[in-house]
Amino acid sequence: MKPAAFDYLAGAALADAKSALAAGAKPMAGNQSLGPMLNLRLARPGRLVDIAMLPELRAVTETATGLRLGAAITHAEIEDGEVPDPTGGWLREAAAGIAYRAVRNRGTLGGSLAHADPAADWVIVMTGLEAMAIIDGPSGRREVAMADFITGPFATVLGDGDLLVAIEVPKPGVDARWGYWKFCRQIGEFAKASATVLVDPAKNVNRCVLGALGRQPLVLEESQAVIEGRLSPRDAVTQALPGRSPEALALHATALERALAQANGE
C-alpha cells in the first residue's frame, strides 16, 4: 500500500504554509488520521504542506482567561504535562485516552480538530470545555467557538486558505467539575458513544455534550435540567436524538450517565 504521488513542502514559518495553502495544498500535521487514508488511497491530495513544526503552531501562551495551545502541540505533550493544563488535569486525562502512545507522539491537537472525525476525543472535549478555534485565513485571524467550528462529519468552517493555528481553552472557575466518558469496544479505537459534562458555578455554566454521533457533537439544550437531576440522562438523550436505534440510544445515555457521575464525584 503506497499513497498516490504528491508533492511535499515543509514550511519554515506560517507564511510559507499560508502561501502553500493559497496555492491549493492540504495541510498535514502529525499525519495520524490522514496517513491511513493516504496509504489506502482514499485521499489523494496533489500537494501537502507539513505544518507540524511551524514555530507559530508550536507556541503556548497564557491569556487573561485561559491558555492558547498551538495547533501542532501533540497529544503526548498534553498527556505528559509538557504544556500547562488550564483545567488542572482534564486535558491530560483526555489526551492519555487517545488511540495509542505511538500515535499520541505524532498526532496533534489542531490536526485532530481540523480533521473533525465525529468520534475523536478532542472534538467532543473541546466542545464540552467551550474552547475557541483560532483560525488564520486570507482575510486575517478570527475566533470561532468549537461548537460552531465543527459543522458535520469531517467538516469544519475552515475554508480556502484557512489554517487552524491555535485552540484557546478557557480556565474553569475554582468550583468547576467535569466528566468525560467514552465507550470503545477496544482500547484506542473510535468511540461508539461519548459524553462530557461541565458544571462551572462561578461562570454559570451547565453543559452536557454528546459525541460520536456521526456528525458534530450535540450540546444538550436541557443540560441544566440533566445536571440538576430534573431530567434523566436517558430521557434527555432520547429527546435529543430522535430516530436513533434503541441500542445506540442506550450507549449514548450510558455515556452521559457516566460522565455525569464523574462530574458529581461519584
Partner 1 sequence: MSQHEVTLTLNGAPVTKPAEPRTHLADFLREDHLLTGTHLGCEQGVCGACTLYVDGRPVRSCITFAVACDGASVQTVEGFEDDPLMARLRAAFSRHHGLQCGYCTPGMLATGYDIVRRLPDADEARIRRELSGNICRCTGYAGIVAAIQDVLASDPPAARLMPLPRRQRAAVSAVATEAAAPSASVRATEVVVEIKDGISLSRSLVLEAPADQVWPVLRDIPTVVSCIPGASLDGPVENGRAQGVCTIAIGPMRATFRGTAQVTLDESTQQGRVVGSGRDGLSRSSLDGALDFALEALPDGRSRLDLTMLYTLKGPLAQFGRPALVAEIADRILADAAAALAARAVGAAPPAPAKPLDGLALLGTSLKAMLKRFLRLG
Q: Binders of partner 1 among 58-117, rule CB under 8 A?
A: 58, 76-77, 99-103, 105-106, 115-117
Vertex 75, ends 66 and 118: CA angle to 5°? Answer: 90
> Would you say 166 and 131 are in contact if contact means Cβ atoms under 8 Å apart?
no
Residues 6+ apart with CB under 8 A from 256: 195, 197, 208, 210, 226, 233, 236, 237
How many positions of this chain bind partner 1 (CB under 8 A)? Answer: 80
CA 44 to CA 199: how far, in whole Å?
43
Q: Does 147 participate in binding partner 1 (rule CB under 8 A)?
A: no
Q: Does 6 participate in binding partner 1 (rule CB under 8 A)?
A: yes
Q: Does 37 participate in binding partner 1 (rule CB under 8 A)?
A: yes
All 3 cell numbers of residue 232? 434523566
Q: Does 32 participate in binding partner 1 (rule CB under 8 A)?
A: yes
Q: Does 157 participate in binding partner 1 (rule CB under 8 A)?
A: yes
Q: Binders of partner 1 among 122-141, rule CB under 8 A?
A: none
Q: Does 146 participate in binding partner 1 (rule CB under 8 A)?
A: no
- Rg (C-alpha) for the chain, rounded Å, is 18
CB of 123 to partner 1, least distance (A): 12
CB-wise, 34 or 220, nearer to partner 1? Answer: 34
CB-wise, 27 or 172, nearer to partner 1? Answer: 27
Q: Binders of partner 1 among 232-251, rule CB under 8 A?
A: 248
Q: Does 195 participate in binding partner 1 (rule CB under 8 A)?
A: no
CB of 9 to partner 1, least distance (A): 5
Selected from 88, 138, 188, 201, the binder of partner 1 by CB under 8 A is 188
User: Hey, which bits of 98-153 come out as E strands?
Assistant: 132-137, 140-145, 150-152
CB-wise, 174 or 187, nearer to partner 1? Answer: 187
CB-wise, 243 or 265, nearer to partner 1? Answer: 243
Closest by CA position to 6, among listed 34, 18, 188: 34
Residues 6+ apart with CB under 8 A from 199: 176, 177, 178, 205, 206, 207, 227, 263
CA 133 to CA 153: how far, in whole Å?
17
